[in-house]
Each structure stands twice: as structure tokens, then as C-alpha cells.
Amino acid sequence: MEQRRQPVSHSGYAITDDPQRVDIAAVHAFLASSYWAPGIPRATVERAIKHSLCFSLLHGTQQVGFARVITDRTTFAYLADVYVLEAHRGKGLAKWLVATILQHADLQRLRRFMLATRDAHGLYSQFGFARSPRRHA
């Protein structure tokens, strides 16, 4: 059962899982220029957001960060597309975003919560995520 939480706020920032608060244009702009999704079509981003549990990091009404969890809300979750805009980094916002995600009611008692990333290993290791072995094609 999908449980919406009230936005949590801190120092002028808010995190919400309300899909109506996702600025799809802003998320698409960031992801399309990211190393993990260069050139991703907007329609793909829209569909991914529609079928995921998403978290918007807002400064006022501006989308300054985002994270998406692909999950069945019962046994499995995969954390993806986590970012904080460069102008807002260095304030502990990424740590706060990940902590908020891991506390979400729909993500408790999962058997597996996965993440694959090339960077920010120091952030994710604080929450129990370990580097996955590299696979070669």
C-alpha cells in the first residue's frame, strides 16, 4: 500500500514523495546530462518516474535534488537517479535525502535494497550500501 508522507523540511529545503511535486523538466535536464543517462529521452524519464517511488528535494518550489526508488514495496528496492544540484551541495542534503528515503514506510522490512553507482561511495556506505563488484562485458 502506497503511503504518502508529509514533506519533511530543514533550513529552507523540503523532501517530498508527492509525485505532483516532481518537476519533470528539471529532472530530465539533469539526467540527460548525467554520466549514467546521457541523452535520455524525456518520455523515458516520465515513464520511469510514473512507475517509481520518487523523492523531490525542493528549495522553495525549485527542484534541486531527486532520487527514485524502483520497488515492489515488499521485498526489493533499487535506488537510482540520486542527485543534488551543484549549487546546493556541501550542506548535507544528499545524506538527508538518502536517510529520508530509507525511513519511508513503504521501504521497511525489505529483503534487498540495492544501489549501483560510480561515485559518492562515502555517502552510500554510511547507510550500509557496499560497492558492487565490477562486471566486464
Distance CA 75, CA 30 (A): 30
Q: Give the residue-averaged pLDDT of 16-25.
A: 96
Domains and CATH numbers, the chain: 8-125 (3.40.630.30)
In this prediction the pTM is 0.82
Distance CA 134, CA 137 (A): 10
Q: What is the pLDDT of residues 31-76, one digit of tens each?
A: 999 988 999 999 999 999 999 999 999 999 999 999 999 999 999 9
